[in-house]
Amino acid sequence: MTHRLLADRHLYLCTPDRPDLATFLEACIRGGVDIVQLRDKGLEARPLLARATVAIKVCRDRGVPFILNDRPDLALEVGADGVHVGQDDAPAGLARRILGPDAIVGLSTHAPAQLDASRDQPVDYVSGGPVEATPTKPGRHGTGVGYVSYAVANAGRPVFVTGGVTPNTIGPLLAAGGRRFVVVRWLTEADDPEARARALCTALRRALDNEVGAG
């Protein structure tokens, strides 16, 4: 069963901290981002809490769920909607115990064995990828689109596809079964993040319309 806050959410921004965090998030949300994660491995607890407070205000004002990466304790403290953990982070079960039954708990998966193991964990969604190798995950090889198909078919919960998501790659990812997407560099490196988010949303809608028309 899909968590109520994830229903109809398809464009998930994952961003590090940045000096213009509030205005950047506002622009991305205006362009169509409908879920936000703050992921910054370089910040200590108190600075991360301060920046998460900035982000959560923007998200609350615009009705967008806010997820904090890695730290369920800090997610609880700041009042985040949930936490996202990786394979080497705090266990999903611990995150659930800290945040309670109503929070969103997400988990990264990169291979079929991890995806299979996630079915027994108390998570609301998984991310699948990175489809293409990305500098945000140094040393990790791309999974290819085949893993997208496997994850969507076997996760038993929403799958957010990660790695190289752009308007040009949406079509093949949709063909592989993807319907929800995590975006990082396409937006974080943009001069005009609102326009880029809108372009991605337009590409997604067009690809879905073409798929319906072909069917």
pLDDT in tens, 158-176: 999 999 999 999 999 999 9
SS (H, E, C) the chain: CCCCCCCCCCEEEEECCCCCHHHHHHHHHHHCCCEEEECCCCCCHHHHHHHHHHHHHHHHHHCCCEEEECCHHHHHHHCCCEEEECCCCCCHHHHHHHHCCCCEEEEEECCHHHHHHHCCCCCCEEEECCCCCCCCCCCCCCCCHHHHHHHHHHCCCCEEECCCCCCCCHHHHHHCCCCEEEECHHHHCCCCHHHHHHHHHHHHHHHHHHHHHHC
Task: Assign 137 a pLDDT band (cuts: 50, 70, 90).
Answer: low
How do the domains of the chain map onto residue ranges? 11-214
What global pTM score does this model have? 0.93
Pick the CATH number of 11-214 from 3.30.70.890, 3.20.20.70, 3.40.190.170, 1.10.630.10: 3.20.20.70
Backbone angles phi, psi at 106, to 5 degrees: -115, 155
Taking the C-alpha atoms of residue 90 and residue 73, their distance in angstroms, rounded to an integer, is 10
- Percent of the chain with pLDDT strictly greater than 90: 86
Task: Assign 143 a pLDDT band (cuts: 50, 70, 90).
Answer: confident
Q: Average the pLDDT over 104-118 and give the result.
A: 97
Q: pLDDT at position 142, please?
A: 74
Catalytic residue numbers?
A: 39, 108, 137
Q: pLDDT at position 213, please?
A: 53
